[in-house]
A and B are shown apart, each in its own frame.
Chain A
Amino acid sequence: MISETELNKIIERINAGDQQALDHLFPLVYQELRQSAHIIRIRFRNQDTLNTTALVHEAYLKLSKADLSKLENKAHFLNLASKAIRQILVNACQSKGTQKRSGEKVQIDDLEEQLRLSEESKSIILQIQDALNILEQKQPNYTKIVECRFFAGLSIEETASVVGSSPSTVKRQWSMAKTWLHQQITAVPV
């Protein structure tokens, strides 16, 4: 756990423009998202979509009121959150034997434990993950866009604020990233 003074220092550095410092906040955001499955159930039960977007925004609401209250730029949070969501989904696809036996205690908080995706979805997400690992090394910006748009379901504008470019650039880059990802995951294995 990060202490409060430590947290404040990190946020000060982020607010001052230190992008490196952002990484220190990742565990906090990741943990919050992981454990906030119940929150989206409460707030969004009456909505048609119960999705990761809702989760991200809900987590932001909560964190910005407490831990991240001094964070000046929401984009920093969205950046971390979209990465965290990617991590959560990938973990959910990789974890084995999470199926609860009858009568066992129901974990209601842990999102990774709760997500029960179809085998097909798991396979696609893991393929996307593999492809993104390649893309990340060459074009980290494109990867960030995929994290924002696909994993976190953020809007073009929000994504633009995270990557620091114009919405139309984000649109074009998102389109190119999608196209490349599609080619990668539909490619016949050699």
Chain B
Amino acid sequence: MASDAPAMAVIHGRSPIFYRRFDRKDDDQHQTHYCPGCGHGIVTKLLAEAIDTLGIQDRTILVSPVGCSVFGYEYLDVGNIQVAHGRGPAVATAVKRSRPDSIVVSYQGDGDLAAIGTAEIVHAANRGEIVSVIFVNNAIYGMTGGQMAPTTLLREKTTTTPLGRDPAVHGYPLKVCELLATLDAPVFLERVALGSNKQIMATGRALRRALENQVHGLGFSLVEVLSPCPTIWGLDPAEAQTFVRETMTRTFPLGNFRDRSASAVPRRLAVTVPDLGELPRILGLGPASGADGASDTVVPASPVPTADHRIVVAGFGGQGVLLLGEFLAEAGLSAGYHVSWLPSYGPQMRSGTSNCHVRISAVPIDSPVVSRPNVLIALNEPSLRKFLLSMEPGGLVLYNADRVPVDCAGNDVRITPIASTAIADRLGSAKVGNMVMLGALLEATGMLPDGALDRALHRLVTQESWYELDRAALQAGRAAVHRMTAAPAEPSLARDPAMG
């Protein structure tokens, strides 16, 4: 390498991939905005040649970053997307996924890729996105005027490391190829440099490989190019090239870090697209069917015109509180009512209590929030105490116990104890306690016609075994209400006779 001439490489001829005139100010349309001796000009030219060689000009989409190469789109006659600082790999991901025939190139500098965009590059690489990334590493922030980059060398002076980069303060130069080589997905990772003609030729080959891999559908490829920045480094172009060749490469050794170009299996992102008419079926928007494969039972829709059931269901998490509410809403809908179901969610579930608001109404529902319930299903005592005071006078409470706490009675509210958990236990599973309560509610109020629950059962119960148990629980709940009506003065004696 040391024998190479330090002069800048001259690659003759103008690639047809370049626009004939650049979209710049009047006097500058024949040249790029890059400084004399800057590596970006060379990399851009090598990229153009690779695109030309592979015949992919029409398919290529260049994702331009923030940094000195922000105007990459002014030079290359390909599809162009200019993006936010560091986000190129995220943008490239989405473009490639939706346009799998395109060849997507994310062109990024060291601040863009290795500082602000670290998450995006690591995850695009880790997902094995079928894109090609060109990472131009000149160890400095060029466009913003010479601040420290994540790849700035130790002891190198920048405007934000005026005394030189001190690892104790600023950390160490970030080695992107080495970092990405720890991941399983990347297909091709190579570090090259612009420190000599020979190195420049090798850079051209690496860029071509990175694009070729994408043409073959081989997955994530990245080429890191050690590149001179004479202006900010305060060197002339020849000195800067020498610095790349003799100094940068000591921190960033050149070489290939991953090459599975020969062994990787091509991937094709294209998918089957169903006919538009298939969408309702795919999205489950057709008629419901359940465990028994039967479609909905049609319930005669003759809603009671004054119906306005404002229901709160409350209990511990795991008691099927939300599901009970969902059954009610679904059954109400079957019976021709307007319905809403509003759950409590999140930490309340995790800390043990849960509730939902259900409205079943003959007229469109204004607020789904039930602040004055006329029905309360309290599956535990804290729920009874919490919601009792908000009840509308004359409302009905079904309470999961065999007796009502003495201090809760006499609130102008009917409280009916139904020991739903105990009844369900005797049926074989405490989990159907909610269905016992549901049966009791329907029996006690007659709020929904027979058969209204069929649709809910079909839709919500997917296992045959549960279907039978749920039906038994509903029936047991109805029976419990009958016994209560027979002996209202002795609620504590309520027993399911079937269970002894």
| Pair from one complex | no
Binding site for B on A (CB under 8 A): none
Binding site for A on B (CB under 8 A): none
